[in-house]
């Protein structure tokens, strides 16, 4: 019905781009190895580019810290395609082009009285890239961004355009797909009625109180994030993002309420952070930590993240604290978040309510790469799954043990991309050689 359908075309960028504009990721810690760039202006042009390439990979907002989006062939930029947002108020879904940012999507959805259930810290990331790598926000009952996907549209290695829904056997293997199954051109997301939230920052939460009842702590609001460097006797900050209907919290497990707006980094201005001090506002202006109208410059930071079962959090955090003296000099800050279980084969939240330990490192890559194996070794007994878009050691994990459907995903990737068109060095290390076979439906 026309009255219930919003169709918006976001202005595309000019159909030119300089090589220097796309050769590095957002953080500047890696230079892409692609030999060429293609910037199609239509889906037909995109399909033709994919079909004719030996190696090709889409490149979104470049908010990744490893080579998951790299290629030694052609990088495919999606920003010249029609950037569409179509909201159906009857179905409570929104169809959005893969290259649209969450900030742009959320503003349009809010204007129609709807909301997305969860958002990442930065709203500037692209929809397709965030979903394909399992990016998430926080909240014990809030699935990752992929949790909202109702259908996904891809261009396969052959150039074929197809749509997968929840009724399709490949759907659960394709939503968090690392770009290995095709180029995501659009997704359909579920939406809910718009809601209002309040945000409060608490300070100096004693570690012993936090670990004694960790589940109650992280369940105390719609979304909870802890910020720490793992040293000392207390956690620096607790960010509570509560529904406006939830009671205000000014004291929690011995922490005290901040009397002014705070940045996750103690010495940074809170000017670009979302509103705090229990000031009510729309969901899209409270769920992220940073305002959409603030455009981040190239981030002089590195990031790693490890996701593990929620009930393992206290022991895992105690283990990490044993090397706090090694971590703290390399950290800007570490954020501790949570997430609900889902059924996507390569989602870090696959069938487990989880805690996510996020590390925002200083731009000291050699030093970070030196400490990562020790950190991963400490977290290995807790079945920690790395975030696919951040720094981790690609050879230090038993993927088949961490992901029960990993073998099926490997087969799915080989079936739809037998020549390895969407592969790169990182994916080859993780997935191994293609082994086409029949994928079972479990």
Which tens digit of pLDDT belongs to each residue from 12-60?
433 334 445 557 887 778 888 888 899 999 999 999 999 999 999 998 7
What 3-state DSSP class applies to 380? helix
Confirm if 145 and 133 have CB atoms less than 8 A apart. Answer: no
Among residues of the chain, what percentage have pLDDT more than 90? 76
DSSP 8-state class, residue 14: P
Query: What per-residue confidence (pLDDT) applies to 12?
Result: 40
Query: What per-residue confidence (pLDDT) applies to 296?
Result: 61
Q: How many whole angstroms separate alpha carbon 248 and alpha carbon 255?
A: 14
Least confident of 24-28, 356-360, 418-422: 24-28
Q: Give the relative orientation of helices 365-379 and 313-321 as an angle to the nearest 10 degrees.
A: 140
Query: What per-residue confidence (pLDDT) applies to 23?
Result: 78
What 3-state DSSP class applies to 367? helix
305 DSSP β-pair partners: 358
Query: What per-residue confidence (pLDDT) applies to 16?
Result: 35
Query: What per-residue confidence (pLDDT) applies to 191?
Result: 98
- Tell me what the mean pLDDT of segment 345-363 comes to: 97
What CATH number does the domain located at 2-193 have?
3.30.465.10
Confirm if 285 and 291 have CB atoms less than 8 A apart. Answer: yes
Give the dihedral of Cα atoms 141, 145, 148, 152; nearest 10 deg.
Answer: -150
- Tell me what the mean pLDDT of segment 151-155 comes to: 98
Position with higher pLDDT, 292 vs 84: 84
Query: What per-residue confidence (pLDDT) applies to 30?
Result: 82
Query: What per-residue confidence (pLDDT) applies to 25?
Result: 82
Confidence check: pLDDT of 435 > 70: no
Least confident of 54-68, 230-244, 279-293: 54-68
Q: How many whole angstroms separate alpha carbon 318 and alpha carbon 395?
A: 25
Query: What per-residue confidence (pLDDT) applies to 5?
Result: 37
Confidence check: pLDDT of 135 > 70: yes
H or E stretch covering 416: helix 406-416
**CA end-to-end distance (rounded Å), the chain:** 37
Tell me the backbone φ, ψ of residue 250, rounded to 5 degrees: -110, -15
What CATH number does the domain located at 197-386 have?
3.30.70.2520
Tell me the backbone φ, ψ of residue 151, rounded to 5 degrees: -155, 160
Query: What per-residue confidence (pLDDT) applies to 145?
Result: 96
Give the pLDDT confidence of 216-243 residue by residue, as tens digits.
Answer: 999 999 999 999 999 999 999 999 999 9
H or E stretch covering 255: strand 255-257
Q: Are strands 74-77 and 36-38 parallel, antiparallel or unpaired?
A: parallel
Query: What per-residue confidence (pLDDT) applies to 184?
Result: 96
- Tell me what the mean pLDDT of segment 280-299 comes to: 83
Give the pLDDT confidence of 368-409 residue by residue, as tens digits.
Answer: 999 999 999 999 999 999 999 999 998 889 999 999 999 999
DSSP 8-state class, residue 387: -
What is the dihedral sign for C-alpha 31, 32, 33, 36?
negative
Global pTM?
0.92
Q: How many whole angstroms separate alpha carbon 176 and alpha carbon 348?
A: 9
- Tell me what the mean pLDDT of segment 259-266 comes to: 93
Considering the chain, what is the average pLDDT of its residues? 90
Instruction: Give Cβ neighbours of residue 168 (< 8 Å, ≥ 6 apart).
Output: none
Left (φ > 0), alpha (ψ -120 to 50) or beta: where does 379 sit?
A: alpha
Confidence check: pLDDT of 9 > 50: no
Domain boundaries, the chain: 2-193, 197-386
Query: What per-residue confidence (pLDDT) applies to 185?
Result: 96
Least confident of 76-80, 305-309, 313-317, 412-416: 76-80
Query: What per-residue confidence (pLDDT) applies to 96?
Result: 97
């Amino acid at each position: 019905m026309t009255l219930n359908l919003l169709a918006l075309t976001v202005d595309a960028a000019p159909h030119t781009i300089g090589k220097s504009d796309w050769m590095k990721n957002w953080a500047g810690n890696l230079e892409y190895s692609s030999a060429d760039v293609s910037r199609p202006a239509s889906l037909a042009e995109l399909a033709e580019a994919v079909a004719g390439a030996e190696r090709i990979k889409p490149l979104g907002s470049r908010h990744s810290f490893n080579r998951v989006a790299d290629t030694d062939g052609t990088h495919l930029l999606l920003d010249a395609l029609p950037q569409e947002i179509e909201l159906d108020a009857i179905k409570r879904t929104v169809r959005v082009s893969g290259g649209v940012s969450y900030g742009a999507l959320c503003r349009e959805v809010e204007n129609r009285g709807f909301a997305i259930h969860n958002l990442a810290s930065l709203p500037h990331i692209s929809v397709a890239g965030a979903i394909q790598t399992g990016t998430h926000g926080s909240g014990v009952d809030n699935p990752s961004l992929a949790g909202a996907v109702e259908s996904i549209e891809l261009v396969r290695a052959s150039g074929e355009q197809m749509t997968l829904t929840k009724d399709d056997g490949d759907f659960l293997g394709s939503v968090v797909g690392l770009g290995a199954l095709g180029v995501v051109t659009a997704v359909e997301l579920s939406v809910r009625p718009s809601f209002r939230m309040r945000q409060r920052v608490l300070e100096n939460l004693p570690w012993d109180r936090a670990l004694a009842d960790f589940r109650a702590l992280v369940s105390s609001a719609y979304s909870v994030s802890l910020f720490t460097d793992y040293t000392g006797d207390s956690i620096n900050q607790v960010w509570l993002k509560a529904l406006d209907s939830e009671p205000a919290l000014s004291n929690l497990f011995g922490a005290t309420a901040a009397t002014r707006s705070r940045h996750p980094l103690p010495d940074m201005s809170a000017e670009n952070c979302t509103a705090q001090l229990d000031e009510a506002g729309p969901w899209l202006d409270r769920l992220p930590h940073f305002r959409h109208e603030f455009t981040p410059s190239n981030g002089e930071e590195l990031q790693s993240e490890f996701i593990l079962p929620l009930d393992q959090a206290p022991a895992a955090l105690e283990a990490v604290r044993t090397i706090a003296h090694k971590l703290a000099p390399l950290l800007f800050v570490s954020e501790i978040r949570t997430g609900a279980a889902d059924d996507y084969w390569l989602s870090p939240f696959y069938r487990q309510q989880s805690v996510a330990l996020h590390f925002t490192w200083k731009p000291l890559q050699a030093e970070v790469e030196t400490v990562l194996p020790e950190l991963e070794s400490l977290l290995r007994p807790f079945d920690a799954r790395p975030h696919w878009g951040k720094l981790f050691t690609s050879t230090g994990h038993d993927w088949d043990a961490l992901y029960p459907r990993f073998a099926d995903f490997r087969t799915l990737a080989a079936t739809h991309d037998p020549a390895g068109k969407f592969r790169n060095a990182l994916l080859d290390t993780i997935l191994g050689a293609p082994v086409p076979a029949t994928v079972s439906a479990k």
